[in-house]
Every structure is written in structure tokens, then in C-alpha cells.
Amino acid sequence: MTHIDAGAELESAHPIPTDVAVTGLTAAEVAERVARGEVNDVPVRSSRSTVDIVRANVFTRFNAIIGVLWVIMLFVAPVQDSLFGFVILANTAIGIIQEWRAKKTLDSLAVIGEARPTVRRDGVAAEVSTSDIVLDDLIEIGPGDKAVVDGVCIEADGLEIDESLLTGEADPVVKQPGDQVMSGSFVVAGGGAFKATKVGREAYAAQLAEEASRFTLVHSELRTGISTILKYVTWMMAPAAIGLIITQMVVKNNDFKDSVARTVGGIVPMVPEGLVLLTSVAFAIGVIRLGRKQCLVQELPAIEGLARVDTVCLDKTGTLTEGGMDVTELRPLQGADDTYVRQVLGALGESDPRPNASLQAIIDAYPDADEWRCTESLPFSSARKYSGASFSEGNGESSAWLLGAPDVLLADDDPTLAETDRLNEQGLRVLLLARVTRELDDPEVARGARPTALVVLEQRLRPDAADTLRYFEEQNVRPKVISGDNAVSVGAVASKLGLSGTTVDARRLPSDKDGMADALDEGTVFGRVTPQQKRDMVGALQSKGHTVAMTGDGVNDVLALKDADIGVSMGSGSEATKAVAQIVLLNNSFATLPSVVAEGRRVIGNITRVATLFLVKTVYSVLLAILVVCWQVEYPFLPRHLTLLSTLTIGIPAFFLALAPNKERAKPHFVRRVMRYSIPGGVLAGLATFATYLIARSYYTGEGSLAAETSAATLTLFLISMWVLAIVARPYTWWRILLVAAMGCGFLVVLIVPWLQEFFALKLVGVTMPWMAVGIAVVAAVALEVLWKWVDRRFPVQR
């Protein structure tokens, strides 16, 4: 079916009254449709709902396991053996509160960045919220605007719409009145208006959104890695817990309540319950911090993704330079009259209802000639690099003009290009005004164009661009400037910002992916890049294993933004770019990007760091359970002991370490990085603790011996866990040293204060056994240092 056929079908289903086609709906007609429910009521979700947040934090596999054990302990043991349950409640509450705060931040920013289409009602055009559109509304669209509902084209002025995000077809589609307009497509050139024929959940884009919510998570190695680890932990827990239950309840034939308490004490620490919480909290706090800087993170793992980026592709206009420009000089060519040229430029400016930054500068500099009447216009397109218009001049004569890139409109040997190159080398932007004899709809309209004048424009550099580029270079992230402008001019702008490297004209790039990738590795600045080439360049970089971020604000950046690993759009950019980007800089400040990178590095680096703490505990807990089953002895700990150890050596330190600054670039292979430390560390801690326990069992006899044995084993396990914490906390800063010291002092207070001794059932008996426990812990700490260094050498992980 052709587009005209589809449009005719839509039109027949929804006849278009003549007055509606011109003036739009009246206020009464809008009210009538609202009363009938014919409104665009699709909720735009920027984040999970409150119910989803509560459900995700409360109803987890491990919360269910620990919840059952907690209820049991409330009935059979003192309250101090049930402390682990209160910790889980506090953790869950913290997770819910932080995610809710992040949701509020996201929702408020989403309202700021929400698309506000222009709707014509009662003959007056006004911006409205997307949700306020009703059936049969007349919606005006121009370059960069996204169609938010389905409709049929009513007015078209050189209207070209890109439907590639919906159909995969790369070439823009020229629209005429009667043609179908699909929601989710966007305008690349021209303008017009269409009537809404399907709104709300009936619209095409809304149907797609039902299948995949806007808040769907992009690939996150961190989340995937943690899920993998938790899956293995579950497999290990089941047999170890069953064996422990049988040993404590049947084989030893101990007091029932004491057996239950020690069984639960063996199972609970196997669960790395705080790891998922800390990951969620770290992401949520990252969103809140970035939200304060007017940075909208549309997909949470985008924070993580940008931290892994090694190549950032920058669009010059709107990213390195500010949107506005100024006309600095007009150079008539071939004896053209200066006054006449100014009239032509003024008329060209008036002919385009939606001027881009270049044409806006011309409009500001040259007023419209009232006696000139536009008879036909050719909107600017990024693909062809020029716009044009035909006029009936005041004296009755007709003329046709093009305004665009000199190196596109002129032959390679034209002498005018030499002057253009000299201006470009100064970082100036140059447009050529040329008179043509062909019709504007002729595919070769530019052939034989007669140069009439050069319009010299000066671009305004962003004051923060140089510092941001320097930051990326210092962080080993390679910037690539990709622009549709003249390569020499773009290179000069980049040079002013301190960015060195080779400048390449993209028209000379190899078309094959491998050749393009090699050229991209060698070059730094690329000019005369078409929208499709931007997309191809992102794909070529990715084919070489690079993680690519793409920034942009124009409609010509949409396809590349969508294909990049991380798309970053400016808040002032087109609705299409903001719709496909994972991160939107609402304050239009390129300088916000380092903050996003820093947040991602903080999250990934710190979660990798603290995950080792949690999983060392899981490994030694499983190993202790196995050893207890094999030796058929009482489990050495009560839940209160492990709650104390977990709080001092994991819980409190992990919270601070997870939120600390971390500038180290994210490294791949999260699971391997964590497990290669956790497994040997946990095995060593488990063996050393069980050795102390067995020695204490042979040393202590009589009444109260089990409490003394437990205290000695607890001391060894605490000291080894503290050494693991001391290693994980490196490199040391004053606050990290203070953190580790404070945790050690906390345990010392428990051992000294009588009522705390009684509360936690910890009392060191005698002198020999406690010092032996310390000695075993010291030997284990030295072995841990040697073992982890050997693991680093023997099992290196790709950086």
C-alpha cells in the first residue's frame, strides 16, 4: 500500500471538514471529545510506579527466606538472635525510600523535558501537553518534531518524515496531503500539519510502548552479574542448609531451641542480602545527584553504560558550540549588487517558517523585502546540505535561489572554494548564496548554480567545552567530533577548544565497515557527515569493540543516537533526539557529561568493591556449614554473633564505600573480578575460623565451654573479616582509615562493656585461647595478602 492509499483510507474513516483543516477544532468540539474520552491518555512513565518499587524491594527470594527464619527465631530465641530480621526491615525501607526519591526526581525532570506539540484550535496555534491532544486535533509539525499520535497529513510544505525508527527504512518519506503520519516518526525537513486520527492506546507508537515500557532497562553488566552470582548462591545454599538442619536437629540431639538458633545462624549469613539493596541505592542516589544538575536519566543503567564508554562522538553544533550564530560578513561575488543580495537573503529568511540556527542569524541580520513574494520553497535537509526558494520579485521578475554549503553547491575546481577554505580555517562557517535556473524539485537543481555571495557566520563556542574535552582525554575517553559542516571549519573549532588530531572529510571515507573503522581510529574530526554516515560510523566503532556514546541535539543525530551504546541529547534539542536518548541534559550544558561519567564510575567501581565483602561472607558461611556437617559438631555461631560481625565488617562499611567518590574507569567481567577474590578469601576465612573452633573445643571443657568456643571463633572471624575490609578499602584516605578503625573500636567496646558481652553472648575466657585465636587470624591475614596477589598474577582479568 502506498502512503497516499493509506492516507486516503484514514481520511475516509475520519472525514475532514474544511474549517477543521484550516482552523482546527473549536473549544466546544475539544470539550465534547474530552467528555467522550477521545483523548491521548497514554501515561508516559519515566520511572517505576510506587507499587512496583515496593514490590521489587519487599517480595524478593532472599527476603522470603530470611523472613521465614526471622519469624521462627522470634518464637524460639531471645530478641538479640532476631536482630538480623530488623536489619532486613531497615534495609528494605532504605531501598524503598531511595528509589522513591529517585522516582520523584525522574518524574519532575520528565515533566520539564516532556514534548509539547503545537496544536491549532480556533485558528490559533498553541503548545499543549501530549496528554491534552484529542481526536481530530490539527497538529503542526516542523523539523525535529516527533509525531505523538497517528494521523493524516492536511498541510505539507516540503514535508519529509523519517519513519526508520518504526519501519527500518532509512530514506525520508515525502508527505503530501492525504498521506498517513505514524506516531513515533519525526520530521527531517519542511513543515506541515496533520489531523489526529488515532490517539491514546490506539496509536501505533503507544501499541509498541505496551510491549516495551519506556523504562525498560538497557543491558547492565552490573545487574546481570549480580543476578548470576545470586543464582549460584541459591544453588550452594540449598544442600548446605539441608545438611546443617539435619546435623543440628538430629545428629547432635541438642536442646531444640538452641539447635534451631544455631541452624538459623548458619543459614542467614549465606544470603548476601545487602548486595542487591546497595546496588539499587547506589543507582538511585546517582539519579538524585544527576537530577540536581538537571540531567534526566531515562534508563538507569545508562549511568553505568556511560562509565564504560571509551569513545564519545560529539556533534559540533549545539554541543561544542552554542545554538546561536552571528553574521560577521557578507561577500558579494562576480560583481553582485550588495543591496540586491541583502534583499534576497531577507526574502529567503522569510520563506522558511521554521528556520535553523544559520538561517535565524541571517533573518536577524537582514530584514524581509516586503515586495518579494515566495512562490515555492525547498526546506533545509541535512542530507542535501542546502535550502532554497523561488520568488516573484517586486519588479515582476522571477528568480530561484539556493543557500547552503559551498563545497556541495559548487564544482571542485570552482575558484570560490579557495576563499571559502581560507575562512573555514579560521573556524568561521560559510554559506553560499547561489542563483539557479532549474526547478527546485529537480534532483539536480544545484547543477550550474551561479555563486552570488558568501555569508560568513561566526559560531559561539560553549565556554565549558574545552574543559570537558580535556576531562575526557585525561580519562582515556577518545572524543570524535562528527559534524555535517565543512571539515576544515569543524577542525578549526576543535583546535580552538584544544582538541588535536587529524581532520577528515567524511565524503572520502571508505564505505565498508572495516575501512571506516580504521579511518575513525586515525582521525579525530570529521566534517560533511550525512545522517546515515553518523549511524554507520557508530556501528563501525562498535565493530572494533568500542563502547560508544553519541551526543547531539538535531534531527540528523537521531539514528546515530539510537544505535550508540549511550545516547545523550540536549534539552533544547528536537523532540525526536530526546525520545531516543538515554540521557537528556536539560540545562543544555555539555559540562554535565563528566558528572554522569563520574556517577557511573562511582556506582560500578564501588559495587565491585563492596560485592567482595558480601560474597566473602557467603563463601565462608557455606564452607562452615559443610565443615560442621562433616565433623558433626554444633554450629559455632548464634545469629546474634553473625549479625554483629556483618554489621561491623560489611553492612556499615559497605554503605559508605558504595557511595564514595571513585574515578577509576569501569572494567568488564564483573562476576570474574568479584569471585576471584571472594572464593579464596571466603575459603581462607572459613578454614581459619573452623580451625580456631576445633582447637577451642579441645581446650575448653565443662559448663559454658560452648560459649567460650564460640567467642574464640568469633574473634578469629572478626579479625580476618576486618583484614578483608582493610584490603577492600584501599587505596587509603583519611576517612577510610577512620572507617576501618571505628569498626574495630566497635567490636572492642562489645568485648569490654559487660552488658554488651551478655547481650551478644561474647566473653573471652582465659588468655591462651584468645591469643591463639589472634595468632591464627594474623597467619590467615598474611596468607590472604599472598593469595590475592597470586590470584592477580595467575588469573588476570582483561582491563
Q: Which residues are catalytic?
A: 315
**Cα(199)–Cα(25) distance, integer angstroms:** 15
Q: Cβ neighbours of residue 6 under 8 Å, at least 6 residues apart?
A: 179, 180
Query: Where would I find the beta strands (DSSP E) of 426-522?
Result: 429-436, 450-461, 478-482, 502-505
**Cα(328)–Cα(105) distance, integer angstroms:** 43
Given a contact cutoff of 8 angstroms between Cβ atoms, the answer to whether 297 and 303 are in contact is: yes
Match 539493596 to its residue by C-alpha cell. 277
Given a contact cutoff of 8 angstroms between Cβ atoms, the answer to whether 379 and 189 are in contact is: yes
Residue 20's alpha-carbon distances to 7, 23, 195, 469, 693, in angstroms, are: 17, 5, 9, 51, 87
Match 544527576 to its residue by C-alpha cell. 290
**Cα(286)–Cα(86) distance, integer angstroms:** 26
Given a contact cutoff of 8 angstroms between Cβ atoms, the answer to whether 165 and 184 are in contact is: yes
Other residues' Cβ atoms within 10 Å of the Cβ of residue 250 = 10
Given a contact cutoff of 8 angstroms between Cβ atoms, the answer to whether 728 and 613 are in contact is: yes
Other residues' Cβ atoms within 10 Å of the Cβ of residue 15 = 8
- DSSP state letters, 477-488: -EEEEE-SS-HH
CB-neighbour burial class of residue 293 (10 A; exposed 0-12, middle 13-18, buried 19+)? middle
SS (H, E, C) 62-124: HHHHHHHHHHHHHHHCCHHHHHHHHHHHHHHHHHHHHHHHHHHHHHHHHHHCCCCCEEEECCE
Supply angle C-alpha 35, 38, 44, rounded to 5: 115
Given a contact cutoff of 8 angstroms between Cβ atoms, the answer to whether 535 and 515 are in contact is: no
Query: For residue 320, what is the DSSP state?
Result: T
Given a contact cutoff of 8 angstroms between Cβ atoms, the answer to whether 48 and 215 are in contact is: yes
Locate 777 and state its grid cell.
587470624
Residue closest to 312 by CA, chosen among 102, 600, 571, 112: 600
Sheet containing strand 478-482, strands side by side: 295-297, 583-585, 566-570, 548-552, 311-314, 478-482, 523-527, 502-505
Residue closest to 132 by CA, chosen among 210, 202, 41, 194: 41
Query: For residue 442, what is the DSSP state?
Result: S
Say what the alpha-carbon torsion angle 359, 362, 364, 368 is, to the nearest 10 degrees. Answer: -100
Beta bridge partners of 377: 389
Given a contact cutoff of 8 angstroms between Cβ atoms, the answer to whether 513 and 540 are in contact is: yes
SS (H, E, C) 228-288: HHHHHHHHHHHHHHHHHHHHHHHHCCCCHHHHHHHHHHHHHHHCCHHHHHHHHHHHHHHHH
Given a contact cutoff of 8 angstroms between Cβ atoms, the answer to whether 648 and 747 are in contact is: yes
Q: Cβ neighbours of residue 577 under 8 Å, at least 6 residues apart?
A: 144, 552, 553, 554, 555, 557, 558, 561, 567, 569, 570
Residue closest to 345 by CA, chosen among 422, 457, 188: 457
**Cα(2)–Cα(9) distance, integer angstroms:** 11
Amino acid at site 176 = Q
